[in-house]
Each structure stands twice: as structure tokens, then as C-alpha cells.
Structure 1
């Protein structure tokens, strides 16, 4: 059988479903489309979503509710930049926040010039900020983050505890991360996912991070499948993919497997019995 055309088969408990999302349109997308040199402008430091970007968020939010995806997601991982966090809480958060509710909001009112009401964290999956899934690091101010102390004020219910440094010590003004370095970081991020117990995870991140990470995969697939995995994401595009643990990184036991033979009894399959009889005959 042709390897490329054959289906893959893996134990369910060694798979996770990843719902990959690129952030909605940011101010830097608009300015960079008009003039690529704008990406070097300090005025685009950690840009927020545009009004069109927020419309894209609303459309994706409607989609995940209509498809039932909103009820399946156990964890939302987000890159700690303003545009990704706005996208994440807008898509996967609860309805408008009300004072007096004994839970912190995911986003306070008008965070990042959003003109949006506060977004509730009530009945939501946990939101965790992770630096490994940031965009290309260095040179472009739009990819430099604010301090975690500032973010905590406007995104109170996002968990920033996995981020070691309050200030952004990963971004360098004169050195841009290479494409292959982004891919290595992406693989490290995917390996880290196996330390999480959650099986269905939404990840809100960036075009470059997704493209260079996913380009590592699909070489053993049909070209159309490879293309489906690796093409650039549009703003606020969602693609759901399955990641497979082929190397025993994960340690979670299967929850749906059943051992059989309970109550116990004779159950030697006929083909095994034939093989056993044949081997016994050879031994005489």
C-alpha cells in the first residue's frame, strides 16, 4: 500500500485536538499592507484590533457557538500581546461582565481602545498566556509586548503565571528571529502541550508562528493535505487539527478503553488458536 495514501491510526488518548486561531485584524495589518516599512514604526507598538477586527471576532464567536465548539474547549492558550488577547477573550469569553459578579472579568471595559464592554470569565475555560506561541521576535515594535503588570490590569482573569519576566526580555530591537528558530520554538510549544491534561485546546496566536511551525508537518501526506496544514492563516481564521503523541511523551491513561474478559472466560481467537496449533506441531 502507498504510504502517502494510507490512513493513520493512533490510540485516542495519545491525541489532542487543537483549535488554532490567528488573531483578528490589528492596526499593524492595515498600516503594513499600505507600506511594509510601517512595521518598523514605534507607533505600532503592541497594536490593538481595528473595528473590522472586532467584527471578525464577532463572526468567529457566532461560529463556535453554532457548531458547539464553545462547549468542547477545555483550555484557551493565548500569546501575550494585546491583539491576541483581545481576540481570545472576544471569541471564547462569556457575555458582558456585570458588576457584583464574584469573578474577575477576562477584559475590562474599553481595553486597548476597543469600545467594548467588559467581558466575563463566568463559565469559561481557563485562559493561559504562553510566550512560546508569540509572533516572530525582534525588530518590529508591533511584536513587542507590554509589561505583564500592565496586562493584568486590563485582562484580570487571564493567567500570566507561566511568564517568567514582567518586562519583555525576549524581543530585541536589532535582531529578528529566523524562520527556522520560530519553527523550533513552535515544536517546543507543541511538546509542552503534552504536559497539559486538557484534550481540546484553543490556541490564539499569530500568522508567522503558525505558518513556520505547521510547515514542519504534512510531508508524509497528500500534497492537498500538506497545503491545508501549512498555508497562511487569514485574520481570525480557525483550523482544527489533531496532534498525535508518537513518542510516549504523554502519560495520561486511556479513559474510554475497556480491558475486556470481565467476567473472565475462554476467549482464544480462532486465528491465534490456529497459530498456536501450528507452532505446537512444529515443536514435536
Structure 2
């Protein structure tokens, strides 16, 4: 039986909303969903309601967690949700800097974060003028390759992956709109 994987980009974040206007990093660290992002999630939820997912895998960045809970928190089949940092966003801006598992657990008590490293986002090299450790593209491409192998090794046959536009581009070569759902063929 063929594995079905649906990749879903998070809804619009507060970072996305301001960056579209200013083209400058608004310094929204681990940016949450904007009001439009929450609406995009509400609008998208019916599109996944009739699909039986054996597993939902979400990035630990807040906008992905909010999207995941909005799409699958009330899903009829109540699929298990796994928080996985391997498919986090390419760290290039403030919104891509994560928060420690203990803080995430406080904000999202329905999810499990104890398996994550204290600093699970990219934190190598010298920080730039914003204090951000920008992740080299080669590192993102390595993570995309590793995530593809991770998905292939999973026993589940139907998986939803909630993540990020730039990472998905390196994984699939597709530029995602907010809350867009794309089938991924391993």
C-alpha cells in the first residue's frame, strides 16, 4: 500500500503579515498566527476532516502548533500528534527562532515536548546584527533529506505534516501558500 503524506503550511503569522508590508524583519520571535492566519486555519479544517490520518507531525514553532491544533484538535478520528523539530523552518528571521520545550509545554499543554532538546532550532555560528544565527541553506537541505528518510521509515501509511514554506520548498520544490495542502510522493 502506498504511503499518503499531506504537507500543510501553517496559516499566516504576525511576522508574515508585517513583512509583506515593510519587507523588514519585525522581530517577532516564534511568531504566532495572525487573525487572518486563524481564519485560514478555520477555512482549511473541513478539507482535512474526512481524511483518516494515522499520524500528524508538526513543527514546534508556535504558528505550526496553532495550525495543527486548529486543524486536528477536533478532527473526527483524533489522530496522534507528534512534535518534531527536524522539519522546522529555515532559520533566517526572528520568527524562526524557537522557544524551549518547557515554555511550549506551558502554552500547549495538550502536546508533548519533553523529547526536544532545550535549543532545538539552529543556533550555530556567529549571530547577525539582529542576534539571529542564520542557518546555512546546505544545513536546511541536509535536514530535508533526513526528514524524507524519517517519513519513509515511519510505519504509518497516512501522515499529515504541518510545517513551513521554505522547508517544504527544499523538501518538495513547491512554494506553498498559507494553509495550502499538497500531497507529497516519497
Q: TM-score, normalization: structure 2?
A: 0.88
Residue of structure 2 equivalent to 1:126: 80
* In 2: Cα distance, 1:141 partner to 1:207 partner: 15
Q: Which residue of 2 aligns with 1:78?
A: 58
Paired residues of 1:127 and 1:157 also in contact (CA < 8 A): no
Instruction: Report the counterpart of residue 167 of structure 2 in structure 1.
Output: 209
- 1:77 is paired with a residue of what secondary structure? strand
Q: Counterparts in 2 of 1:26-41, with a 5 A limit?
A: 26-37=13-24, 39=25, 41=26
Match of 2:185 in 1: 242
Number of equivalences: 180
The aligned residue for residue 17 of structure 1 is 4
Give 1:168 deviation, angstroms. Answer: 4.4
Which structure has the higher relative contact order (CA within 8 Å, separation 6+)? 2
- In the alignment, what sits opposite 1:171? 123
| Residues 58-97 of structure 1 mapped to structure 2, 5 A cutoff | 58-65=42-49, 68-69=50-51, 72-94=52-74
Secondary structure, aligned partner of 2:63: helix
Instruction: Indicate if the aligned counterparts of 1:135 and 1:206 stay in contact, CA closer than 8 A.
Output: yes
Paired position in structure 2 for 1:278: none
- Residues 52-101 of structure 1 show CA distances to partners (whole Å, capped at 9, x for unaligned) of 11111011102222xx21xx101110110110000011011117xxxxxx
- Report if the CA contact (8 A) 2:31-2:62 is conserved: yes
Structure 1: runs of 5+ lacking an equivalent: 1-11, 96-121, 216-229, 244-284
Alpha-carbon RMSD across the aligned residues, in angstroms, is 1.9
SS for the counterpart of 2:134 is: coil
Q: Kindly state the Cα deviation for residue 182 of structure 1 after the two structures are TM-superposed.
A: 1.3
Q: Residues 140-192 of structure 1: CA distance to partner in whole angstroms, max 9, x if unpaired?
A: 211011111011112122232442x2234623533422333312211101111
- In structure 2, how many angstroms separate the alpha carbons of the residues matched to 1:176 and 1:169? 10
Query: Alpha carbons of 1:185 and 1:204: their partners in 2 closer, same or farther (altered >3 Å)?
Result: same
Given the alignment, which residue of 146, 154, 161 partners 2:99?
Answer: 146
Give the 3 Å change call, closer, same or farther, for CA 169–49 of structure 1 in structure 2: closer
Q: Does 1:181 align with 2:139?
A: yes
The structure with the largest alpha-carbon Rg is 1
Alpha-carbon contact 1:180-1:212 (below 8 Å) kept: no
Q: Which runs of 5+ in 2 are unaligned?
A: none
Q: Which runs of 4+ in 1 moved over 4 A?
A: none
